[in-house]
Amino acid sequence: MANALLRIKRRPEFLRVASKGKKWAAPGLVIQAMKTSYNAGLDADSADQNLRIGFTVSRKVGNAVGRNRAKRRLRAVCNEIMPQFAKPGFDYVIIGRQATIKRPFEMLKQDLKSALNKTGTALGIENK
């Protein structure tokens, strides 16, 4: 069963994950993960079964065109990897890096899988 990928859009939610969550940096991205709290606007059932993902890319990465490209690539990687490999019931913040723009797509997928493993939020995958 594919888990629903909900979005984190409000700044306080990003800050909560950043301050209390687990963090791992890979060459193409940084991931922050934290168990979803029930006061995040979700009832107990949907908080345990859904993934919430937020994306952010700073101005250090590049101009608006580069930042938007990085976010599009991160969204594509997450749409492909997260429903199969990420534990439900967590909030994830994916942060783009300068390498996100030019890194091959397959390597970005491997970065996300290894980051999920390192934060302990993977569904039993082995990193190749």
| 19-54 confidence digits (pLDDT tens) | 999 999 999 999 999 998 766 555 555 556 788 999
- The Cα 74–Cα 100 span in angstroms is 8
Bigger pLDDT: 58 vs 50: 58
Is 128 inside a domain boundary? no
Q: What is the pLDDT of residues 93-123, one digit of tens each?
A: 999 999 999 999 999 999 999 999 999 888 8
Is 54 inside a domain boundary? yes
- The Cα 6–Cα 53 span in angstroms is 6
The whole-number pLDDT of residue 1 equals: 40
Indicate the pLDDT class of residue 58, thresholds 50, 70 and 90. very high
Structural domain including 103 reads 5-118
Is 92 inside a domain boundary? yes
88's CB contacts (< 8 A; 6+ apart) are 3, 48, 49, 50, 51
CATH number at residue 32: 3.30.230.10
The whole-number pLDDT of residue 127 equals: 45
The whole-number pLDDT of residue 122 equals: 83
- The Cα 108–Cα 106 span in angstroms is 5
The whole-number pLDDT of residue 47 equals: 54
Q: How many domains does the chain have?
A: 1
Q: What is the pLDDT of residues 65-100, one digit of tens each?
A: 999 999 999 999 999 999 999 998 899 999 999 999
Is 15 inside a domain boundary? yes
Is 42 inside a domain boundary? yes
- The Cα 24–Cα 33 span in angstroms is 9
Is 123 inside a domain boundary? no
Whether residue 128 has pLDDT greater than 50: no
Residue 94's DSSP bridge partners are: 31, 55
